[in-house]
Structure 1
Amino acid sequence: MNFSLKKELPLIGIVLVPFVYLYVVWDKLPEKVPVHWDINGEIDRYGNKSELILVAFLLPVFIYVLFLIIPKIDPKQKIYKMGRKYDALKTVLTLFMSVLAMIIIYASMHETLYNPNYILLLVGVLFTVLGNFFKTIRSNYFIGIKTPWTLENETVWKETHKLAGKIWFIGGLIIVLSCLILEKKASFNLFLIVTILITIIPVVYSYLKFRNLNLNERNQ
């Protein structure tokens, strides 16, 4: 996965979009802008507008650079085996972070986060997309459900990620639908519950799967 400027140009363009947008609206921004909202979309912290530059760096730039670095520091070079799937995942997450950065800049400029459900909906869409990726992710130290049991056993890794793919996809759909039909607080509470469940269930499953495999090996 050597760096190719021609290949990376579209992604670099995606990373730069929030900066271009911020440049365009910079003079329209007051010196103090809202930089944080509560679950009801009410402003609970103001900051200098220069903080929005940091938002653009911490979201798309950080994620993009991180995905460039990971293959270089992967001790067993397993990331390289993902090939185009890794590039697709990099594109999805970089695009998500760029869109999120632009939403924050837009909300800061208009001093309102009209409906926090829009951000939760966006995260729900991300969960469904990641759910489709999970079953194709090969064992590695950086991406996926990295528990001691998945990293120890290839079968546990595969089975855990098959399950994770299904529940992340379903969980994402539930979040999207809840954002469309429920009130802000109800959809946020459901978002928290779903996020906790899709995080914990694969971890517990990986342990149980590993334990069962070990018990079967001992009984043979």
Structure 2
Amino acid sequence: MEYRRQRALTLAFVLAGFAASALAYSDLPARMATHWNASGDVDGTMSRLAGAFFLPALTVFVVGLMLAAPRIDPRKEGYEAFRGVYEWFVAGTAGFLAYVHVLVLAWNLDYAIPVGQALAPALACLLYACGVLLERAEPNWFVGIRTPWTLSDDEVWRETHERGALAFKLAAVLALGGLVLPDYFRVFVVAPTLLAAAYTVTYSFLAYRRRE
């Protein structure tokens, strides 16, 4: 089977999420904390059943969509150039969600975990993986920086993705600051991510106008 290692790792992460919930279920509170603001304060809760299995179920849904994309994309031939990297990215996304789920379970089992600080390195890895994926992605309708300008011109796509790859890798490095200075989570993690996204969209527009 093609991409066997990536698919096996993806499945392992999915199953790990469900297994962790099943093992911890009886010790979880009736109302689980499931969302924290940028300051690390709880601002969302769910029932025990929903809180224990929402993220694993969401992981199945997200992974399913990501694996379906190359099959249903009208420009599916573009995936062949970066399919291996894409499959690793799917596995990494499943791993990220499994990690977040374990943090949620641990916090609700009364382990004193600073959620923002614990999330920073995982988000840094995810952002860096986005950068790697962007530098490899060929034109398609589902993966990458999909603006009207990149989808209208393959050269604009390539220019934008080269710049976007660098921007997201830089955001990944800055996100590690949230591990050292968790009180500045917004500065080190949220702001660089938003700026990288805004930069790539703006650059795609300017690159398209320049080619016109």
Q: Same fold (TM over 0.5)?
A: yes
Q: 2: distance between equivalents of 1:180 and 1:6?
A: 30
Could you say if the C-alpha distance between residues 115 and 108 of structure 1 is closer, same or farther in structure 2, counting changes exceeding 3 Å? Answer: same
Q: 2: distance between equivalents of 1:77 and 1:101?
A: 32
Deviation digits for residues 133-156 of structure 1, max 9, x if unmatched? 211100111111001111111111
Could you say if the C-alpha distance between residues 193 and 39 of structure 1 is closer, same or farther in structure 2, counting changes exceeding 3 Å? Answer: closer
- 1:55-74 aligned at under 5 Å gives the runs 55-58=55-58, 60-74=59-73
Contact 2:116 2:185 in 1 (8 A): no
2:30 paired residue number = 31
1:11 paired residue number = 10
Deviation digits for residues 74-114 of structure 1, max 9, x if unmatched? 12223542331221221121211111122112222227542
How many equivalent pairs are there? 210
2:196 paired residue number = 198
Could you say if the C-alpha distance between residues 203 and 179 of structure 1 is closer, same or farther in structure 2, counting changes exceeding 3 Å? Answer: same
CA-based RMSD of the aligned residues comes to 2.2
Q: Which moved further from structure 2: 71-80 or 164-173?
A: 71-80
Query: Deviation of residue 4 (structure 1)?
Result: 8.4
1:83 paired residue number = 83
Give the TM-score of the pair, scaled to structure 1: 0.86
- SS of the residue aligned with 1:149? helix
Higher alpha-carbon Rg: 1
Query: Deviation of residue 3 (structure 1)?
Result: 8.5
1:107 paired residue number = 107
- SS of the residue aligned with 1:33? strand
Letter in 2 for 1:162: E
Structure 1 consecutive aligned stretches of length 4 or more whose deviation exceeds 4 Å: 2-7
Contact 1:79 1:86 in 2 (8 A): no
- SS of the residue aligned with 1:102? helix
Q: 2: distance between equivalents of 1:41 and 1:57?
A: 24
- SS of the residue aligned with 1:40? coil
